[in-house]
Amino acid sequence: VSARVHPGETPASYMCHGLLDFLIGPDPAAKALRKAVTFVVVPMLNPDGVFLGNYRCSTSGVDLNRQWAEPSETLDPENYHVKDLLRSMGSDPGISLDFVLDLHAHSTSMNAFCYVNLLDNDMAKMQKELIFLRLLANNCKMFSLNNSRVCCDPTKVGTGRRALPEVLEEHTHCYTMEVSFFCYHTMATRPIPFTMQSYIQCGRTTAQTFVDFYKLAVDV
């Protein structure tokens, strides 16, 4: 899990806060998750950009979320070392790298939603790719499956979601998760403004959804 590759997208930090808060907490579901799954979290992928007050760029003046295809160890060290770690994990026969989740905030769309990759026009593969999203939509009123998009935009080739699968296992789910800067709505409600607490809750619910995905037994 990574967040804040774009420094100005502060809601991503609140989501990551909620995810971590759940994972380290006393909830029986969190305890079951900690026993079964290892999470590697990079809560702020672009700390220099955040420190400088940049909106989108790093200290070297580039958008790090367009540098994943061939990151420079000198200019894009964050990407370089994270990609190297994922490559190492993906090639380790003792590790099943199931998810790569990159947290962002969106300046025009409403709700929380995901971008997913098109998998060879294979309907069976795409249905598997959507399982986690369906579970999340069931658990989180702020998350919209309808707003989620299969995205093959050529301008996004350098993003983590598009470039990292080359070093990942075939079964690894690679998502960009977005949350609106503004509001969310359901069929039954008018738009509701996001707050710090609702961003945090969105992150908590995302973490909880992994319990459902892995079908973990929870001691009550």
Which residues belong to the active site?
178
Residue with tokens 């790298």: 97
Residue 215 backbone class (left: φ over 0; alpha: ψ -120 to 50; beta: rest): left
Q: For residue 2, which phi and psi values (nearest 5 degrees)?
A: -135, 155
48-51 own/partner pairs: CB under 8 Å, 24+ apart: 49/6, 49/7, 50/4, 50/7
Contact 76, 160 (CB under 8 A): no
